Structure 1
Amino acid sequence: MHTAVQERRKFGPLGWNIPYEFNTSDHYATVQFLQNHLDDLDPKRGIQWSTVRYMIGEVQYGGRVTDDYDKHLLNTFAAVWFHEQMFNDSFCFYTGYIIPQFKTTKEVMDAIDTLPLTDTPEVFGLHMNADITYQTNSATAILDTILNIQPKDAGGGSGETRESVVFRQAHEMLVKLPPDYVAHEVRTRLVKMGLLNSLNIFLKQEIARMQKVITLVRITLTDLKLAIEGTIIMSENLRDALDNLFDAKVPSLWRKVSWESSTIGFWFTELVERNAQLSHWIYEGRPTCFWMTGFFNPQGFLTAMRQEVTRMHKGWALDTVTLHNEVLKQFKEDISTSPTEGVYVHGLFLDGAAWDRRNSRLIESQPKVLFVPLPVVHVFAINSTAPKDPSLYVCPVYKKPCRTDLTYITPLWLKTNQKPSHWTMRGVALLCDIK
């Protein structure tokens, strides 16, 4: 288990949301606890497996863990590997990885020598595709480092200068930048749609934030063109924008008020697409299917939907109304009408598993296919705080591939033929954006 928690870190968010500094002291402390537990054992009662699992998953290793889903993964490892059946001859952590039952040191050493030199991701509960993720992350980190240490000053070559490249780029982006929202037009439309409707209040907040981003981008690009021409002084923020745009990255000032993205091309495309959804909603009416990635505050969107459903039912209270979902068989193009309750959501991708569209359930990933688009999901609210069906896999939804509390949105419940613990160890999650 110590090996598994250590080795999973190299697979990035697929292994652990946060790469914890597990070390040998955690291992020694756990071994010491097990030694003490076995010394004080009552032979009639046997090993207290619930105590062992709790001490490992919640105290010894779990004491370092701060993320709820990482804690759940740790407890899943403890539940799958620490039980009475582990002493059966048929038990193995993975094919070929058994608990050797030998009496001499030489036999144990010989058994270790028969193990493979390199462990496949499946040994740690992951899919074979996790190796591709690991190699991609390693290559990206190396290329980023090379890019960061490159000299920023222009060389003496005869090619186009950095400034002229960025000037042309800034001009092209200004041409494609969406127009500003006119405050009185937005208010008129909101009044017509219902000013006090929960989702319309949410829309108003989203448009205000989008306008802030559009304004900042327009000012920065206009000033950058003037600074390159020499009309105004090149400030620190404009210098940062110049360097980042030349390296195809998002300027720091823009990133602070918007969202993370790997390149400026993806970021700007997302800006146009996000704005298209909001302007369609405000000027042409509520969409039949929502692109959740396109919101600054997707949690607020789901809360507004819960409020809307609660108001539709007399006697329902927001505190007792919880989210539930159903994955449809159609994709966005096949949806023509809105649901009577709740919302249709599209644009989610499965990471770590694939989707059986015919039977609407999780299945194993295809080799070399890292992300699989999920069909439209009907997210609705039910008046119950009772626990969900334990046979469903609780799948976390994140805005970006970086799985932290800042990008976490909500859980969705997905059907599966296998035990949910299998997908927990696979690190399966839903991502709004895979770039």
Structure 2
Amino acid sequence: MGYYTQAARDVWTLLIELQPQTGDSGGGISRDEYISQVARDIQSKLPEVFDLDVIRKKLGLEISPTSVVLLQELERFNKLTLRMIRSLAELQRALAGEVGMSSELDEVARALFNGQIPVIWRKLAPDTLKSLGNWMIHFKRRHEQYSSWVDEGEPCVMWLSGLHIPESYLTALVQATCRKNGWPLDHSTLYTQVTHYRSEDEVKERPGQGCFVSGLYLEGADWDIEKGCLVRSKPRVLVSQLPILKIIPIEARRLKLQNTLRTPVYTTSMRRNAMGVGLVFEADLFTTKHISHWVLQGVMYGGRAIDSFDRRILTVYMDEYLGDFIFDTFQPFHFFHSDSGGGISRDEYISQVARDIQSKLPEVFDLDVIHKKWGLEISPTSVYCYESWNALTNSPSG
């Protein structure tokens, strides 16, 4: 399903890019007027940049690891905001004929006309697959979380999707906990628990250690909040929202998990690239089913299956050769089916392989004949060849 969804998204993207870029936009106004309206609407929603000097003075000299993350996030957010302000102002002047339309401004205009995020903005923003309208809603909510963090302190529930680099915040949590408890940093890790909170408003205070995070979604599964475990997705529901997640730093030696699926958390539904960029962390989700069941559902994504198409092939193959028993039991399994697909049993198949190998085995060398052929004067290389072959043929494995 993920393969077809992505294919449909790509087709619509190409169709939008192929639409006429000149003439009326269909609303009685010209293309330039439409772009100018969109630019003015975005300009009216852009916030002022954060004053980092004032915020640093407010935090004081003893800055916690999470406060360092806040300053880094605000710096990146300021760069994006300034780039948007500058490019939109230049675009308005270019549309008015005051300055020339450069290739960069032309790309911005085309993106605004198509409802997409301009490339020069995308380079300074977190990875996203959103359209321009949804991305602006996301942008506004990011600013609200940063403002609340600056004015009221670290939020009780961190909206993880609103951070530019969410893994840096999780690393800061581990550092702060290690400093507090005197743990070695390289021997510490993260453990997660799915809470019974469905929304951020239900959480009234921060946990003693770790944090609550929101903004996570499950693909290929659903979460039963009453039983507290992974369940099958509902019909026609591809993605479901995960309840508030509690992330707890812990010493690695104390972490012992059973019936738990280590589920990767990615920034977007495109998961990660070959370099691993896109993976944030791994969440621990309780399950009553065999882990291989969720592997086939695409909840945990690994091995050499690198896209949705490969995952569909993997699902069909393993279902054919492993059968249904793998989904309902925790017993060990072997990658062999009682019927190999050719109408023969397992023993007959092994016998065929053995006969095929036997037919390809050569005869052994007659060392006595070879020794007489070489005569009494044998070169060092011939002696080495003779001893090596003698040792090979007389070895237990030979």
TM-score, normalised to structure 2, is 0.71
**SS of corresponding position for 1:249:** coil
How many angstroms apart in 2 are the aligned matches of 1:151 and 1:195? 57
- Give the corresponding residue for 1:220: 87
Gaps of at least 5 residues in structure 1 are 1-129, 431-435
Structure 1 or 2, whichever has the larger Rg, is 2
Contact 2:39 2:88 survives alignment (8 Å): yes
**SS of corresponding position for 2:252:** coil
How many angstroms apart in 1 are the aligned matches of 2:293 and 2:280? 22
- What residue identity is the alignment partner of 2:12? L
Deviation readout 1:161-212 (Å, 9 max, x if unpaired): 1110111111111111111112332222222xx6421000111100000000
Contact 1:344 1:379 survives alignment (8 Å): yes
- Give the corresponding residue for 1:165: 34
Contact 1:353 1:362 survives alignment (8 Å): yes
Residues 22-171 of structure 1: matches in 2 within 5 Å?
130=1, 133-154=2-23, 159-171=28-40
**SS of corresponding position for 1:270:** helix
How many angstroms apart in 2 are the aligned matches of 1:288 and 1:172? 32
Deviation readout 1:129-182 (Å, 9 max, x if unpaired): x3xx44433322222222222332326989211110111111111111111112
How many angstroms apart in 2 are the aligned matches of 1:297 and 1:356? 29
How many angstroms apart in 1 are the aligned matches of 2:26 and 2:295? 54
- Give the corresponding residue for 2:283: 412
Contact 2:191 2:284 survives alignment (8 Å): yes
Contact 1:398 1:429 survives alignment (8 Å): no
How many angstroms apart in 2 are the aligned matches of 1:136 and 1:426? 16
Quote the offset at 1:333 in angstroms: 1.7
- Does residue 265 in structure 1 map to residue 133 in structure 2? yes
- Does residue 400 in structure 1 map to residue 274 in structure 2? no
Contact 1:322 1:385 survives alignment (8 Å): no
Contact 1:170 1:221 survives alignment (8 Å): yes
Gaps of at least 5 residues in structure 2 are 302-398
Distance 1:387 1:328, change over 3 A: closer
- Give the corresponding residue for 2:78: 211
- Give the corresponding residue for 2:298: 427
Q: How many positions carry a matched residue from both structures?
A: 296
- Within the candidate set 231, 239, 246, 2:113 is matched to 246
Q: Which moved more, 1:218-227 or 1:254-263?
A: 254-263
- What residue identity is the alignment partner of 1:212? K
Quote the offset at 1:297 in angstroms: 0.9
- Does residue 185 in structure 1 map to residue 185 in structure 2? no
How many angstroms apart in 1 are the aligned matches of 2:206 and 2:255? 28
Contact 2:187 2:252 survives alignment (8 Å): yes
Residues 377-392 of structure 1: matches in 2 within 5 Å?
377-385=245-253, 388-392=256-260
Quote the offset at 1:272 in angstroms: 1.0
Distance 1:272 1:195, change over 3 A: farther
Quote the offset at 1:387 in angstroms: 6.5
Deviation readout 1:45-88 (Å, 9 max, x if unpaired): xxxxxxxxxxxxxxxxxxxxxxxxxxxxxxxxxxxxxxxxxxxx
- Does residue 294 in structure 1 map to residue 294 in structure 2? no
- Give the corresponding residue for 2:63: 196
- Give the corresponding residue for 2:223: 355
Distance 1:157 1:426, change over 3 A: closer
Q: Which moved more, 1:384-393 or 1:303-312?
A: 384-393
Deviation readout 1:387-413 (Å, 9 max, x if unpaired): 642421110001111111222101011
**SS of corresponding position for 1:402:** coil
Residues 330-345 of structure 1: matches in 2 within 5 Å?
330-331=197-198, 332-345=200-213
**SS of corresponding position for 1:257:** coil
- What residue identity is the alignment partner of 2:8? A
- Does residue 372 in structure 1 map to residue 243 in structure 2? no
The alignment's C-alpha RMSD in Å is: 1.9
- What residue identity is the alignment partner of 1:373? Q
Higher relative contact order (CA 8 A, sep 6+): 1
- What residue identity is the alignment partner of 2:131? T
Deviation readout 1:271-299 (Å, 9 max, x if unpaired): 11111111110122110000011111111
- What residue identity is the alignment partner of 1:235? S
- Within the candidate set 306, 309, 318, 2:177 is matched to 309
How many angstroms apart in 2 are the aligned matches of 1:269 and 1:145? 24
**Identity, % of aligned positions:** 29
How many angstroms apart in 2 are the aligned matches of 1:158 and 1:312? 61
Contact 1:351 1:429 survives alignment (8 Å): no
Deviation readout 1:243-291 (Å, 9 max, x if unpaired): 0000000001001111323311111111111111111101221100000
Contact 2:25 2:31 survives alignment (8 Å): no
Distance 1:216 1:361, change over 3 A: same
Quote the offset at 1:309 in angstroms: 0.5
- Within the candidate set 325, 328, 338, 2:192 is matched to 325
How many angstroms apart in 1 are the aligned matches of 2:163 and 2:25? 45
- Give the corresponding residue for 1:174: 43
**SS of corresponding position for 2:101:** coil
How many angstroms apart in 2 are the aligned matches of 1:377 and 1:313? 23
How many angstroms apart in 2 are the aligned matches of 1:367 and 1:202? 40
TM-score, normalised to structure 1, is 0.65
